Structure 1
């Protein structure tokens, strides 16, 4: 406790009294002046020199206790009950330190239920940093905000426009914006119908499927009763229907209705083997626009047969092969700064390595060190930049694949130097123990493994004779595998990731050559569908999904100059419903 604070507590050498709501606070002028220009002006300019007692209106006793505590200690106990009120008072009395403390606290407490109240608060009390953070949170969690936040229905028309017209608004489907407008208008239809045209013009209509536009938007009361909305709909729909045979029909739509928004997530395809050699290429895929974008910050090292994971805003590239050397090296790409750095290497070199993230650790399992297939495993702690050896697996596994489900790591298939494997095993980090689980129905090396819909999926691979298109799923609660519809294309050594509630497979080796094509499986429809091909055909790549980045807008900017090449099929339209 500081000397000033001790003196204040004992009311020693105090030279002024702050009176609030019947309570008195004995304080030192110099302390309050140091943290607030308001008190400095009050004591030196707005009162007589001999004035000792000052009445402060509009502040509760409990809040003044916190203000005095902060003035003397630089610290304050913030809670969900007092932070907003204290923010207002700190702004009123120009206590920048306390205002920043409140802002930092409110930023950490942002959730779909309070983000709008915090954002609207900054309309009255100027704090651009908190305003930006609360607005970005709202844009990133828009559907949850619409569904759960009571303040959504209290937005003004201008505030709602500001949100839905933003390129930074993240929605998986544009119909979310349409439904939000209907909900907002329905809350007070008499007053709000006058804003129908303004709000409707902010919907990116060209990013809805033609079927949804016809069956839902066209049949809504909003469009039926408003000629301007109906004209905007036809301005979008007619060119689409007239040019359905073309691969870029959105180029015929009014630009303001066809600009893509920021993608909610991106699938990165990193490195791999193409044209007889490894590559450093990174491509990013946006599922909503079905487009691949070349990423400028290529990998620092050309590599194939490596692992890549997204963790805490960074991509980690683990191990791999450059056609000469097997790597133990690990490189980290900060997706905000776009800077690469080499972090601590693994204990051993590993190409054909299996990599996953679980409970804030990165796991590297098995692989090939240039001499033998490995059963060893290790994990990396990014906080202390250190790899630790964990228990070895039951099998030597190179060219296997792994995934995390319910705080367990599952690894399936691979090659042990003699044969392709159908075995699989599970790691329990609490016991540092591997347990063999039920065998897959097929031997699979170069397999893709992913956790999806509470199952472990094993997709494709090589059985020692041919490339596979078969898929099976493991249920941990029953220790059984079940068959799943086969993907259209047989492949091994491909990228695999889950994005937007779908299981994506990317590239790979088809038996004769590398392939660029991309397919995805939706468990709700039990169907595989085709997506747009990568620009570069490659195998031995690694894929991971990134989201929650503060700079996702750079990808939207890249997409603005592109038009979607892949038209939605009838099956995809059904999925969108």
Structure 2
């Protein structure tokens, strides 16, 4: 018989390595078995060559590759001060070192030279913990000097995320032209375009003699398409620096012709150099955010709530409430501002038709009043195009249907009447694209559906009408995606895609129920539909808190959750803001 297999114990002494290092540290302290002395000035530190060579590639090369230091009993450590050298040798033997503001730079330099990688990164982490908006630019420069990628990355991130604070720091004015251009052209910069312009102007005025000639190159980094027209044409255009540059004035004039020559000019008509400037996208730090406002809540009170959807957390969060309760007001977004126009004021004992305009910016999360409409109205429709807001139809102060249309010019803060609708309708689906406003269906004064498409040419101030048997909607929203208009429901389950060029409807996937008085918006190339009323299986009209998404590419609907409460006749809009800026208010 074979002898039984011998049992084997694989012993692992976890304390051996640390104990060994501590014993070596004691031997060094007593200069026992030490074979080299590191010198810094008048400071001499006895060490063991094998310990140093095992701790760093620098010392390994020094003592193991036949250099003269292999035979020397004393090695002069040039470039390293006595205190720093003592700290590093202690670190080699104990793994412990104190890093503070008074020594971090010297430690980092020594760790880099002596090739202590983990110590170098520890210094980097310490500096990262000290990052603030007022020092991140100098830290970024330091990271270049130290060739420290981890510090460079964190300093750049802070500069991008806190640019509003960074732009007012003294360090920004000390940047070179190339450094400043690098920040301003970065898609991840968290700043409004107005801030970008003000930053470059402040940088030039810090040293006007040598920097004045840079205005043309810097101005190209401002994404003009995303500036408020009033700021561009009244503030920027009149700035002496801009006026001193022929190229800058040509660019602004190109924008002016594009925005004010509606219907007669296009981007193709302008200077070649201007086209990529106009096409520049919003910065990545600008989020398109879905906002729901107003409406009728749980079929009881008219709601003052304003809600914003947090895409990352998949939750609704509340914004500042509307100042008053407004029944059947209209809602529109322009230049990242939410407008609530008109409506029936229900706060008072006797309802009153309003012509007041309220605005909300996610940047401030505060409601303000804007220039009021020419006429009070409610149950009307509103759309925006370029720097204009158009208000169409609805019910006037006499509670009668009106065909009146008025236009708000955000550039001059003025309202003006334009050509009235050919056919007076209530609750049509309205959308704007390609310099035209399209109005689908609705109902007449006798509550009969109108099978009509009414088209308003913005540049010509003219209407035309087209009869179409496919049009069959009342109280339905319309949304534009990729120049296609989607009409969603309206006392029907149907979703229709309208090709404006071909004057052709294409049927899309149906809604789950017959839906009306709901709201919709476009976000990230998809349609989002919120709330409304629907016809149940018992032909009863009920309110809903549904929150659904339609993907035109797959022609499918998906549930996105629920609104915090049932809601109809509300606004659902897409607002653009600097990432999470509204949370700071």
User: Does 1:346 find its partner at 2:373?
Assistant: yes
User: Does 1:458 find its partner at 2:569?
Assistant: no
Match of 2:408 among 380, 397, 420: 380
SS at the partner of 2:343?
coil
SS at the partner of 2:354?
coil
* Shift in alpha-carbon separation, 1:459–1:105, aligned structure 2, 3 A: same
What are the within-5 Å matches in structure 2 for residues 195-344 of structure 1? 264-275=287-298, 276-295=300-319, 297-323=320-346, 324-344=351-371
Structure 1 residue aligned with 2:516 = 492
1:510-569 C-alpha deviation (Å, 9 max, x unpaired): 24332111111111111111112111211000111011x2363444x89xxxxxxxxxxx
Structure 2 residue aligned with 1:539 = 568
Indicate if the aligned counterparts of 1:91 and 1:99 stay in contact, CA closer than 8 A: no
Structure 1 residue aligned with 2:221 = 110
Structure 1 residue aligned with 2:559 = 530
Q: Distance in 1 between matches of 2:409 and 2:204?
A: 45
TM-score by length of 2: 0.50
How big is the shift at 1:268? 0.5
Indicate if the aligned counterparts of 2:286 and 2:579 stay in contact, CA closer than 8 A: no
Structure 2 residue aligned with 1:422 = 451
Note the aligned Cα RMSD (angstroms): 3.4
Structure 2 residue aligned with 1:122 = none
* Shift in alpha-carbon separation, 1:305–1:93, aligned structure 2, 3 A: closer
Q: Distance in 2 between matches of 1:444 and 1:470?
A: 9
Structure 2 residue aligned with 1:403 = 431
Q: Distance in 2 between matches of 1:344 and 1:388?
A: 12
How big is the shift at 1:426? 1.1
Structure 2 residue aligned with 1:433 = 462
Structure 1 residue aligned with 2:393 = 366
- Unmatched 5+ residue regions in structure 2? 1-176, 185-200, 224-281, 536-540
User: Does 1:389 find its partner at 2:500?
Assistant: no
Structure 1 residue aligned with 2:534 = 510
Q: Distance in 1 between matches of 2:413 and 2:205?
A: 42
Q: Distance in 1 between matches of 2:565 and 2:290?
A: 15
1:387-432 C-alpha deviation (Å, 9 max, x unpaired): 1111111111222231111111111122222112231211102211
* Shift in alpha-carbon separation, 1:99–1:485, aligned structure 2, 3 A: farther
Structure 2 residue aligned with 1:469 = 493
Indicate if the aligned counterparts of 1:487 and 1:519 stay in contact, CA closer than 8 A: no
Structure 2 residue aligned with 1:478 = 502
1:96-122 C-alpha deviation (Å, 9 max, x unpaired): 44688689766643379xxxxxxxxxx
Give the greater-gyration-radius structure (CA): 2
1:339-363 C-alpha deviation (Å, 9 max, x unpaired): 3222222222221111111121000
* Shift in alpha-carbon separation, 1:315–1:104, aligned structure 2, 3 A: farther
Q: Distance in 2 between matches of 1:93 and 1:278?
A: 52
Indicate if the aligned counterparts of 2:427 and 2:475 stay in contact, CA closer than 8 A: yes
Q: Distance in 1 between matches of 2:473 and 2:303?
A: 25
Structure 2 residue aligned with 1:203 = none
Indicate if the aligned counterparts of 1:414 and 1:421 stay in contact, CA closer than 8 A: yes
Indicate if the aligned counterparts of 2:364 and 2:582 stay in contact, CA closer than 8 A: no
* Shift in alpha-carbon separation, 1:101–1:525, aligned structure 2, 3 A: farther
* Shift in alpha-carbon separation, 1:525–1:394, aligned structure 2, 3 A: same
Indicate if the aligned counterparts of 1:413 and 1:445 stay in contact, CA closer than 8 A: yes
Indicate if the aligned counterparts of 1:268 and 1:546 stay in contact, CA closer than 8 A: yes
SS at the partner of 2:515?
coil
SS at the partner of 2:568?
coil
SS at the partner of 1:329?
strand
* Shift in alpha-carbon separation, 1:503–1:102, aligned structure 2, 3 A: farther
**Which moved further from structure 2: 537-546 or 302-311?**
302-311
SS at the partner of 2:527?
strand
* Shift in alpha-carbon separation, 1:96–1:358, aligned structure 2, 3 A: same
Q: Distance in 2 between matches of 1:83 and 1:263?
A: 20
* Shift in alpha-carbon separation, 1:321–1:95, aligned structure 2, 3 A: closer
Q: How many residues are matched?
A: 322
How big is the shift at 1:489? 3.4
Q: Distance in 1 between matches of 2:360 and 2:220?
A: 28
User: Does 1:448 find its partner at 2:471?
Assistant: no
Q: Distance in 2 between matches of 1:108 and 1:396?
A: 47
